[in-house]
Amino acid sequence: MYAFEYKKAFSLEDAKSAFDSADDGTFMAGGMTLIPTLKQRLAMPSDVIDLGGIEDLRGIFVDGDTVSIGAMTCHAEVAASTDVKNAIPALAYLASLIGDPQVRNRGTIGGSIANNDPAADYPGALVGLGATVHTTTREISADDFFTGMFETALEDGELVTKVTFPVPEVASYRKFPNPASRYAVVGAFVAKTKDGVRVAITGAGPTVFRVPEMEAALNTSFTPGAIADISVPADDLNSDLHATAEYRAHLISVMAKRAIADCV
Ligand SMILES: Cc1cc2nc3c(=O)[nH]c(=O)nc-3n(C[C@H](O)[C@H](O)[C@H](O)COP(=O)(O)OP(=O)(O)OC[C@H]3O[C@@H](n4cnc5c(N)ncnc54)[C@H](O)[C@@H]3O)c2cc1C
């Protein structure tokens, strides 16, 4: 490990002033992605600003038809939350599928979405439910937040503070996990919301995406059969040692149909 300044922030103001006074600062949540990145020297920030002391960034709150989850809330808390299980069981289930117990106890929703790994699970839930990302400066709809592989709409120094999820009528998440890491080879999040059906696919492409053809068919008939003849072209999908683009295209249909079957 090379030398850097470690600073622990206890408030959002602390975090901002530490970032502003650093030559090249970076924030750390649970360190699940950041620490390996530093070890491999893929990033060499001058200052690592630990968000672990900011209590305002933690917690799960249900208010009417909205579930709010603080950025520093770890996956294990979401998976175990009775409030989340009651309001959006698919979200608690998705959190329970992430990595292993160690990852679920350190990894955070804010770190997961800021990192935007193409195989991460939470982007599927955010886009599938039509969530809103709250930051230190603005609110960003999930549809606009995930902009590309490991890229988001966040600007330098902008912190995710919480995510708000509208409670759907019904929702389900199905993923085909990589057997070693548990990351999604393909994950399908399907939700019937007050504004219609949303289908979000993670793991398959450079970043999470919706499938408008499936959504249109499901708005007419919310059954697995409604999407029987709809397939996503393999052209823009990921192809790597875990799965070819064609296999991922096939898995999208299978996972989406299973998610719909869970809902009906
Ligand atoms: C072995 C292993 C298996 C995993 N399996 C899965 C899986 O199955 N599914 C899955 O979805 N994920 C998986 N993950 C990822 C994991 O869920 C973490 O959420 C992810 O690694 C990010 O970690 P973190 O929350 O500790 O953030 P960190 O590593 O601390 O930070 C990640 C990035 O986000 C930035 N950041 C952190 N918090 C904020 C914030 N509030 N605002 C703005 N920027 C911020 C940091 O600056 C950094 O660039 C796995 C990770 C490991 C190591």
Rounded distance, CA 7 to CA 20, Å?
A: 13
Report the side by side order of strands in the sheet with 5-8.
5-8, 47-50, 25-28
Q: pLDDT 10s per residue in the chain (264 long)?
A: 679 999 999 999 999 999 999 999 999 999 999 999 999 999 999 999 999 999 999 999 999 999 999 999 999 999 999 999 999 999 999 999 999 999 999 999 999 999 999 999 999 999 999 999 999 999 999 999 999 999 999 999 999 999 999 999 999 999 999 999 899 999 999 999 999 999 999 999 999 999 999 999 999 999 999 999 999 999 999 999 999 999 999 999 999 999 999 999
Pocket lining for ligand 1, CB < 6 angstroms: 26-34, 51, 71, 75, 98-99, 103, 106-108, 110-112, 114-115, 120-122, 154, 159-160, 181-183
Which one of 103, 137, 150 would you pick to mutate in the ligand 1 pocket, going by the greatest count of ligand atoms within 8 A of its CB? 103
Distance 120 CA to ligand 1 centre (A): 9
CB 139 within 8 A of CB 203: no
Residue 86, both tokens: 């009651």
Q: How far is CA 160 from CA 27, 57, 71, 151, 175, in A?
A: 11, 9, 6, 14, 26
Q: Which H helix or E strand runs over 85?
A: helix 82-87
Closest Cα to atom 53 of ligand 1: 32
Q: Comparing C-alpha atoms, which of 181, 228, 229, 235 is closest to residue 204? A: 235
